Each structure stands twice: as C-alpha cells, then as structure tokens.
Amino acid sequence: MSTSSGEANLNKEIYEKIITQFFNALQPFSKPWKKRKPTKLHTSKE
C-alpha cells in the first residue's frame, strides 16, 4: 500500500518539474506582456 503514496509523490515531483519547465519556456514571451501591467507586482517582489 505504501507504494501507491510513493507513486503519488513521484507524480507530484514530475508534475512540478513540468510546470516549472513550462513557465521557464514561457518567460521570454511573458516579458513584453508584463511590461503592459503596472509595476506593483515587480516592486513587491524586491
């Protein structure tokens, strides 16, 4: 039964890796789109 939970954790890790890679690939495209938005989000990060 413990194997099912281990598989769930593995799937979650793979899912998160795919999500991060997906967003990393979209970053160059989202840069000009971010410029349109107000810089509040950018200032809050720093």
The model's pTM is 0.42
- Tell me how far apart the 2 most distant CA atoms of the chain are, in Å: 51
Which is more confidently placed, 37 or 17?
A: 17
Domain boundaries, the chain: 2-45
Cα separation, 39 vs 23, in Å, equals 20
> How far does CA 29 lie from the centroid of its chain?
14
Torsion 41-34-20-24 (CA) sign? negative
**What confidence tens digit (pLDDT) does each residue in 2-28 have?**
567 888 889 999 999 999 999 888 877
The tokens describing 32, both together, are: 């000009």
